[in-house]
A and B are shown apart, each in its own frame.
Chain A
Amino acid sequence: MGFIKSSKLKTVWILAFVVGIALVGRAFAQETDTTATQTVDTATAVADTATAADTAGDVAPVSPDTVTAAVPAAKADKPAAAAAEDAGPNIDPQVYKNFFYGLLLVFLICVLVGVIGKIIQVYELTRRMNGKDTTYYLYNFNAVLFLVALVLGLYGVYWSYVHHGGQSFRAAVTEHGQQIDTMFIITTIICTIVLVVMHIGLFSFAYIYRARPTRKAYFYPHNNTIEKIWTITPAIVLTILVLFGFFTWRGITNVPEEDQKNALHIEVVGEQFTWTVRYPGRDGQLGERNYRLTTPLNGLGMDFNDKKNWDDQLGSEIVLPVNKPVRVQIGSKDILHSFYMPDFRVQMNAVPGMKTYFQFTPTVTTEEMRDRLGDYKYDFVMLCAKICGGGHYNMQKKVRIVTEEEYQAWLNEQPYFFTEDLRKEFKMSQATQTADEPAQERLLANVHE
């Protein structure tokens, strides 16, 4: 190949290499610099050797030997730098070796591909010398590959449906979820048929109509009838799906006023990276919250002038009675989160400054689900589905669906939000306010400031 022969290109390569080396060198230099300053800082700032060792250990992963060396060196700069020099490359040299082996491997594969390319070139040359064609055999090769891809692809789709589909699809455990499942299955059937038919068409046409020197393509610019048919058919199928979907959706989201009242009301509030679950207590009603009232004790900012708050209970997890409609009020303290329970086909974002709701009726208890799956450790979960920061991947709450009796028993054990400390705090704030006007008004005025 001519690449290496070119002297200009060679210079470019050499330049790139030199620049690369220089950059690497600089990066290392910086690294040692920062480590050095860190060590010196920690050493001078902290008198106690033990704490110094701890902090230094936290700041930069250096071995304890280096730290002890660094502490006495705090008086003079030079030895500190020297000590840090030792601490600098804290990465095993084997790591670099492995990395360069990896690069070498990739390079070797590239060379191998190049060699194969050469062999093909030679092969083509002999074909040309023997008077055989050198273009159409490549077309045939790709056409055959399309056919292979079609067969393997269809099998792959089938295998994936059986294998991955089997482990991913669990029937819904709510009333509305069963409707969603029906629709999901219908959509899947339609889509799979279209997927398979279209791909059979696409890839087999590619194979059958591959170029041959003697053929000429069929001049066929348009056919209005066919075009009308394949505009109207998808339109009809989609209309059916749309109507089905629209009514299901309205059924889920547009709950009649009366059903709303009859449901069990609970609240779930997200914050980075936990959920707080609030049960309404005996009155069955959730009290008002105001974010301005948030204190370390009153994390949700519950407004205790609203007596509905007095009996609200803090749920350690989400426990719900089976076959009873639940209306979850979803809120967020800081940023967007999403209240997501895959098994229940329930999802709604938690939006700061706005209440959102989702009403559903669980139909299967945790015990029944475990029996159904044959997995006796299985638990329903509620998780966060909206990106919310470093702990997003572990923002969960266990969900248990139990019988009515178990639910009541569990509920009786849950603590009240309005604890002794909060009572005291609340009374004190009232006492200071009653000096000039009624507490409630004053507090309300505060709220609306």
Chain B
Amino acid sequence: MSSIASVGTHNVDHHGEHGHHHESFWTKYVFSQDHKMIAKQFLITGIVMAVFAMILSILFRMQLAWPDKEFPILEVFLGKWAEGGRINPEFFLALVTIHGTIMVFFVLTAGLSGTFANLLIPYQLGARDMASPFMNMLSYWFFLGACVVMISSFFIESGPASAGWTIYPPLSAIPKAIPGSGLGMTLWLASMVMFIISQVLGGTNYISTVLNLRTKGMDLWKMPLTVWALFLTAIVGLLSFPVLVSAVVLLIFDRSFGTSFYLSDLVVQGQILPNEGGSPILFQHLFWFLGHPEVYIVLMPALGLTSEVISTNSRKPIFGYHAMVYSLIGITVLSFIVWGHHMFVTGMNPFLGGVFMITTLIIAVPSAVKSFNYLATLWRGNIRFTPAMLFAIGMVSFFISGGLTGLYVGNSALDINLHDTYFVVAHFHLVMGSASIFGMLCGVYHWYPKMFGRMMNEKLGYLHFWLTFVGAYFVFFPMHFMGIDGVPRRYYAFTEFPFMEKWVSVNIFITWSAIIAGLGQIAFIWNFFASMRFGKVATQNPWGANTLEWTTPVKHIHGNWPGEIPTVYRWPYDYSKPGHHEDFIPQTVPFSETMSSNLPHDFEGNVEAERIQREWELANAAAQPEKERE
């Protein structure tokens, strides 16, 4: 455990000299094929990227709040991009672009499902490791490569990509239109191709592990919701990410080899370009064919993690396990046929827009079911407010309040006025940004003992939660109103329009909230890294949870379980079962050991087991008055 604190830095800049370490260092910490270590690598890289992207967001928030003020210190760090202490408009767009790209892809896709799929799929299914550990390692290294290439674009002359995270051509295809579309965009595209390779390698692995390596007794309907969510996420990713590759490759052709897939009829700054016959709308279709499922790639793992955490800490089974799974499946399927709702006013055939609106609003039904089920799980629970639980509740809150505004932007008629305004920014930052990052943080707090064998400081966790929770609402809630007023997103300053002047004071409020919430993350970073070394040593099952990962020893061993892999007998949510002396029954406990609490439907129609149970109940009728009442 001693050198893990420094592993984080090794992972990020792996060119340091570490020759003096003992021999196994490289295989143990760097080129590890062990799913637990890869999960930690993903997590720490994800955290580093998140901090980086958060700093970018603070920078552009400062510009929005104080458009006329000079911050000479910025010039020290940013040089010509902040000449005279004011961020220039093109660099502002670069900040927005890279913030979005890093947060969506590197933090909430790789950092979230990369970490928890790697950690939990083998653990919760009772597997020794992933189906293909080598591919798993490659997946991380491609991801790290993608991160390095993306960040390196800050160190080139023309600056990073700045066409928005959606990189719509022709803006992203023509360096003349914006400097960021030069080498910066090439790096963006290269980084994204590496990232997708990483996702495909990872996704294949997750799916094959879930399908093939479940332990004895672990049928699909006994899998925890986390694994269901991660499994379905991997399927969505595997089907949609390759489409982004095609979009990216065609864009590379347009940029570098003079093709015209996306370009037509262009006169850029007086120069007539030869491209003819392409369509920018084609790119948008390809992009959003990934882009929308991507939203669910980001969200579904968060839903899975919180389901598990809410159930464990409410000491209650998750309400409607089957409904939860079916709604995840529903979201998975529907997520592929709603992409057009990003394109209502882009010139796509309006009839198609109408169709996409119908599919979009249908997807709200499974989402609504999920949030009702969360509430029903909390109802009459015995709720332990661990930091993980707080973040899970926060996640449900964001999921509700951000999901509801989806009814506005998903409605093509209302979207006319809200498209590309701050309303959209508010909507997706709540439902996809905040909800997912809360899901991720909830997961980190909950599974930290499993990852590092120590507990995090819960008081710092509380501080972190309340600062972040309140901060996120303060930042994003007022943005809805700016959007209703018609303030478009990605505006460098609100100074050029009289009707936007009233929002400057709101912007100052938002920026201060963002800064304070951002500083609140220090509580997390400190807690995370310091607890690796100084946290209380964890017990084997600190939360009293049912799933398999808590049956492994605290100290990590290769292959997870020292002896045989445990067999699974029951579903993972037997919390507070009446008749049992404890308020949880792990999945590995056979029904023969819990005769006093078995219920008829536990046996799934096994006549022999039901007979044995009946006989036992008759024999023990006198001793079980409590059971009778049920």
Contact = CB atoms under 8 A, between A and B. Distances in A.
Contacts of B21: none
15 contacts: A99-B73, A167-B485, A168-B485, A169-B484, A177-B417, A183-B413, A190-B407, A220-B319, A231-B365, A231-B368, A242-B358, A245-B357, A334-B170, A334-B267, A352-B170
A272 B383 CA distance: 56
A206 B386 CA distance: 12
B75 A227 contact: no
B462 to A, nearest CB: 6
Contacts of B358: 242, 246
Contact of B266 (A167, A245, A252, A291): A291
B93 A191 contact: no
Contacts of A422: none
Contacts of A377: 498
Nearest to A146: B393
Nearest to B368: A234
Contacts of B350: 249-250, 253-254
Interface of B: 2, 5-6, 72-73, 75-76, 79, 83-84, 88-90, 93, 163-164, 168-171, 174, 177-178, 263-270, 272, 276, 278-281, 314-323, 345-347, 350-351, 353-354, 357-358, 361-362, 364-365, 368-369, 371-376, 378-385, 390, 393, 396-397, 400-401, 404-405, 407-408, 411-414, 416-417, 419-421, 457-460, 462-463, 466, 469-470, 473, 477-478, 481-482, 484-486, 488-494, 496-499, 502, 506, 519, 522-523, 526, 530, 533-534, 573, 575-578, 583
| Most chain A beta-carbon contacts within 10 A, residue among B5, B499, B526, B583 | B499
A351 interface: yes
B523 A216 contact: no
B397 A211 contact: no
Nearest to A343: B486
* Top 4 A-B residue pairs of the complex, sorted by shortest distance between their CB atoms: A342-B486, A353-B264, A253-B350, A164-B481
A353 B577 contact: no
A198 B374 CA distance: 10
Nearest to B278: A353
Contacts of A194: 400, 404
Nearest to B350: A253
Contacts of B281: 351, 354
Contacts of A223: 319-320
Nearest to A109: B519
Given A291-B266, A347-B419, A396-B496, 12 more contacts: A95-B73, A96-B73, A167-B481, A190-B407, A205-B381, A210-B383, A238-B407, A294-B270, A387-B163, A388-B177, A391-B89, A393-B491
Contacts of B72: 91-92, 95
A335 B412 contact: no
A87 to B, nearest CB: 14
Contacts of B163: 387
A250 B413 CA distance: 9
Contacts of B357: 242, 245-246, 249
Nearest to A449: B276
A296 to B, nearest CB: 7
Nearest to B579: A219
A272 B375 contact: no
A98 interface: yes
Contact of B371 (A160, A184, A198, A249): A198
Contact of B381 (A164, A209, A349): A209
Interface of A: 1-3, 6, 8-9, 12, 31, 61, 91-92, 95-96, 98-99, 106, 109-110, 113, 117, 120, 138-139, 141-143, 145-146, 149, 153, 156-157, 160, 164-165, 167-170, 177, 179-180, 183-184, 187, 190-191, 194-195, 198-199, 201-203, 205-206, 209-212, 215-223, 226-227, 230-231, 234-235, 238, 241-242, 245-246, 248-250, 252-254, 271-272, 291-292, 294, 296, 301, 333-336, 338, 340, 342-343, 345-349, 351-354, 356, 377-379, 381, 383-394, 396
A349 B281 CA distance: 10
Contacts of B365: 231, 234-235, 238
B320 A202 contact: no
A390 B178 CA distance: 7
A22 to B, nearest CB: 14
B73 A217 contact: no
A77 B530 CA distance: 52
Contacts of A167: 481, 485, 502
Contacts of B490: 387, 392
B380 A209 contact: yes
A351 B347 contact: yes
Contacts of B416: 180, 252, 345-347
Nearest to B523: A113
A192 to B, nearest CB: 8
A228 B408 CA distance: 25
Contacts of B171: 335-336, 387-389
A92 B396 CA distance: 48
A160 B319 CA distance: 34
A353 B170 CA distance: 11
| Most chain A beta-carbon contacts within 10 A, residue among B321, B385, B459 | B385
B265 A353 contact: yes
Contact of B460 (A117, A246, A252): A117
Given A206-B393, A345-B417, A8 B404 contact: no
